[in-house]
Chain A
Amino acid sequence: MLTLDRVSKVYHVGAFGGKTLTAVREVSFTVAPGEVVSLIGESGSGKSTIGKMILRLIGINGGTITFGDTNVATLRGDALRDYYHEVQGVFQDPFSSCNPIFKVDHIFSLIRGIYFRALSGAEWRAKVAGALEAVSLDSGQVLHKYPHQLSGGQLQRLLVARALLLDTKFLVADEIISMLDASTRIDVLNLLGDLKARGLGILFITHDLSLGNYISEKTVILRRGRVVEMGQTSKVFSNPTHPYTRMLIASVPQLHKRWGNESIVDAGPCRVHAASPSGSAGSALLVEVEPDHSVACFRIDEGVPC
Chain B
Amino acid sequence: MSLQVNDLRVYYRTLAGDVKALDGVTFEIADGEIMGLAGESGCGKTTLGNSLVRLDGRMKLVGGTVTLDGVSLPIADFDEMRHFRYRDISIIPQYAMSALNPTRKIGKMIGELVESRDVRYREIRPELERRLSLVGLGVDVLERYPIELSGGMKQRMVMVVSTLLDPSLLIADEITSALDVSSQKAVAQALQSFRDHKFVRSMIVVTHDVSILYQIADTLAVMYAGRLAEKAATDVMMERARHPYTRLLIASLPEVGVRYDETRLSGIPGTPPSLLNPPTGCRFRDRCPLAIEKCAEEPPFVEVEPGHSVACWRSAEVAAAGDAMTVGAVSAVGDAAIATVANRTVA
Interfacial residues, chain A to chain B (CB-CB below 8 A):
42-43, 151-153, 181-187, 189-190, 193, 207-211, 213-215, 233-234, 237, 247-249, 251-256, 258-259, 264-265, 267
Complex A-B: 26 CB contacts under 8 Å: A152-B41, A181-B40, A184-B267, A185-B252, A189-B254, A190-B260, A190-B264, A193-B264, A208-B181, A209-B181, A210-B254, A214-B254, A233-B259, A234-B259, A248-B181, A248-B182, A253-B209, A253-B211, A255-B250, A255-B253, A256-B255, A258-B214, A259-B215, A264-B186, A267-B152, A267-B182
> Does B249 reach chain A (CB closer than 8 Å)?
yes
- Assuming the contacts A182-B40, A183-B267, asked whether A264 and B253 have C-beta atoms less than 8 A apart, the reply is no
Identify the 4 closest CB pairs spanning chains A and B, nearest first.
A183-B268, A42-B180, A253-B211, A187-B267
Q: Which residues of A contact B256 (CB under 8 A)?
A: 209-210, 213, 237, 249, 252, 254
Complex Cα–Cα for A151 and B238 (A): 28
> Does B183 reach chain A (CB closer than 8 Å)?
yes
Nearest CB in chain B: distance from A44 CB, A: 9
Q: Are A253 and B271 in contact (CB under 8 A)?
A: no
Q: Are A252 and B253 in contact (CB under 8 A)?
A: no
- Assuming the contacts A210-B255, A249-B256, A254-B255, asked whether A183 and B181 have C-beta atoms less than 8 A apart, the reply is no
Counting chain A CB atoms within 10 Å of each CB, the highest count among B212, B215, B260 belongs to B260
Q: Which residues of A contact B151 (CB under 8 A)?
A: 43
Q: Which residues of B contact A249 (CB under 8 A)?
A: 256
Closest to A249 in B: B256
Closest to A259 in B: B215
- Assuming the contacts A183-B267, A184-B267, A267-B182, asked whether A253 and B260 have C-beta atoms less than 8 A apart, the reply is no
Complex Cα–Cα for A264 and B248 (A): 32
Pick the contact of A253: B185, B186, B238 (CB < 8 A): B185
Nearest CB in chain A: distance from B249 CB, A: 6
Closest to A150 in B: B271
Pick the contact of B181: A193, A237, A251, A258 (CB < 8 A): A251
Closest to B213 in A: A253
Nearest CB in chain B: distance from A88 CB, A: 21
Q: Are B150 and A255 in contact (CB under 8 A)?
A: no
> Does B325 reach chain A (CB closer than 8 Å)?
no
Pick the contact of B255: A187, A248, A255 (CB < 8 A): A255
Complex Cα–Cα for A300 and B72 (A): 62
Complex Cα–Cα for A144 and B17 (A): 25
Complex Cα–Cα for A187 and B238 (A): 22
> Does B266 reach chain A (CB closer than 8 Å)?
yes
Q: Are B182 and A186 in contact (CB under 8 A)?
A: no
Given contacts A42-B181, A252-B181, could you give 16 more A-B pairs where the C-beta distance is less than 8 Å?
Answer: A42-B182, A43-B180, A183-B267, A184-B267, A184-B268, A186-B252, A186-B253, A187-B266, A189-B260, A213-B256, A213-B257, A214-B265, A249-B256, A251-B185, A254-B214, A255-B210
> Does B184 reach chain A (CB closer than 8 Å)?
yes
Nearest CB in chain B: distance from A156 CB, A: 12
Q: Are A267 and B150 in contact (CB under 8 A)?
A: yes
Complex Cα–Cα for A207 and B151 (A): 16
Interface residues as binary, B179-223 with A (CB distance below 8 Å gives 1, 0 otherwise): 011111110110000000000000000001111101100000000
Complex Cα–Cα for A182 and B181 (A): 17
Q: Are A213 and B182 in contact (CB under 8 A)?
A: no
Q: Which residues of B contact A209 (CB under 8 A)?
A: 181, 256
Complex Cα–Cα for A262 and B161 (A): 27
Q: Are A265 and B254 in contact (CB under 8 A)?
A: no
Complex Cα–Cα for A255 and B260 (A): 17
Complex Cα–Cα for A237 and B185 (A): 19
Q: Which residues of A contact B186 (CB under 8 A)?
A: 264
